[in-house]
Amino acid sequence: MGFGAVRTIPVNGVGPEDVLLDPHGRVYTGLEDGRIIRVDDEGRRIDTVADTEGRPLGLEFLGEDELVVCDALRGLLSVRLGDGAVRVLATEAAGQPLTFCNNAAVDSEGTVYFTDSSTRFGIEKWRDDLIEQTGTGRLLRRTPDGVIDVLAAGLQFANGVALPPDESFVAVAETSACRVRRVWLDPRREGATDLLVDELAGFCDNISTGSDGLIWVTQASPRVASLDLVRRLPAALRRVVRGLPTSLQPSPRRSCGVLGVSAEGEIVHDLGGEIEGFRLLTGVREMAGSLYFGSLEGNCVAVTDVGTAAPR
């Protein structure tokens, strides 16, 4: 189904990659210049909450007055909403630095599940990892006492993270492989992995659990045929492609989408199409039937209602 009616909320910066909503309907997002901002639902008021001096991506609440922030340059951070104080929670895991801290989910006990997308390429070279398919992404866990461990490694560009309402597993998006993996936390299956959804039509980015109990999965762009061709080239030729100007490399298309997926892997909602003035949909939040979208490259947040979706 198509998106239906979509409105946009301008932000005073570039790249509101993820979106997070508080109980008052205000939107929190991180920008390319390092700021974390809070925007009212109409965009009339924008407050700077903090400046990480890095590149904030995924945001989650860590208690009522604190955010956990995945900063692609600085690692896993916490931000106090009251005074904007920034504290570093992690810069490495299992003795290996965080190269590309990307997205997170927080459970009811305050444990943070988060991703390191690649151990070879940082955010400035995210396209390179998609070309090379390094399979070096990691799903990590930080307990409230500060212990960090690796739940899964060898992931193809580990990205979005979400927990189902019963917290029986953690879902992690593998952007390069167009799939969402489940890593089980339930004691009866702890450590086992399987796929929540596979063979997606687009590149999944951030994911989140909605107020409807569904896991919402972004599709930043449909699959790009030229990228599949480049991946099959010899290593030397892939390096040549990586060295080309961005305009000559395989690039995302303007169409984008989101899926609403049950904990059993059933696709309940499949929305997509082009949104005027908006592209590269990388963040999604559902609240009371409304969907809020973030973008890695845009300058606004987009909003639509699930109920306004129209047949494609």
Distance between CA 31 and CA 302 in Å, rounded? 15
Q: Is 265 exposed, middle or buried (0-12, 13-18, 19+ CB in 10 A)?
A: middle
What pLDDT score does 236 carry?
67
Can you say whether the dihedral through the CA atoms of 202, 208, 210, 214 is positive or negative?
positive
pLDDT digits (tens, 9 = 90+) for 1-31: 788 899 999 999 999 999 999 999 999 999 9
**Residue type at 70 in one-letter notation:** C
Sign of the torsion formed by the C-alpha atoms of 155, 156, 158 and 160? negative
pLDDT digits (tens, 9 = 90+) for 44-67: 899 999 999 999 999 999 988 999
For residues 58-81, average pLDDT? 96
**pLDDT band at 291; cut points 50, 70, 90:** very high
Question: For residue 240, what pLDDT is reported?
Answer: 61
Mean pLDDT of the region 84-92? 97
Burial of 57 (0-12, 13-18, 19+ CB in 10 A): buried
**175-214 tens-digit pLDDT:** 999 999 999 998 888 889 999 999 999 999 999 999 999 9
Is 31:44 a contact under the CB 8 Å cutoff?
no
Indicate the pLDDT class of residue 238, thresholds 50, 70 and 90: confident
> Nearest-CA neighbor of 149 among 139, 162, 135?
139
Per-residue pLDDT, averaged over 78-105, amounts to 97
- Could you give the domains of the chain? 6-222+254-308 (2.120.10.30)
CA distance 63 to 207: 20
CA dihedral 163, 146, 149, 281 (to 10 degrees): 40
Tell me the sheet residues that pair with 137: 155
Question: With bands split at pLDDT 50, 70 and 90, how would you rate the model's confidence at 249?
Answer: low
Q: Which pLDDT score, from 0 to 100, does residue 247 have?
A: 58
pLDDT value for 312: 47
Please give the share of the chain, as a percent, with pLDDT higher than 90.
77
Q: For position 228, what pLDDT does the model report?
A: 66
Per-residue three-class SS string for 4-72: CCEEEEECCCCCCCCCEECCCCCEEEECCCCEEEEECCCCCCEEEEEECCCCEEEEEECCCCEEEEEEC
Round to whole Å and give the CA distance between 263 and 209. 10
Q: What share of the chain is helix, strand, coil (3-state, %, to 5)?
A: 10, 45, 40
Ranking 123-127, 144-148, 259-263 by mean pLDDT, the lowest is 123-127
What sections of 138-234 are H helices per DSSP?
A: 225-231
pLDDT on residue 112: 98
Contact 70, 58 (CB under 8 A): yes
DSSP letter assigned to residue 214: P
Q: What is the pLDDT of residue 244?
A: 58
More confident residue, 45 or 248: 45
Assess whether pLDDT exceeds 60 at residue 170. yes
pLDDT at 311 over 60: no
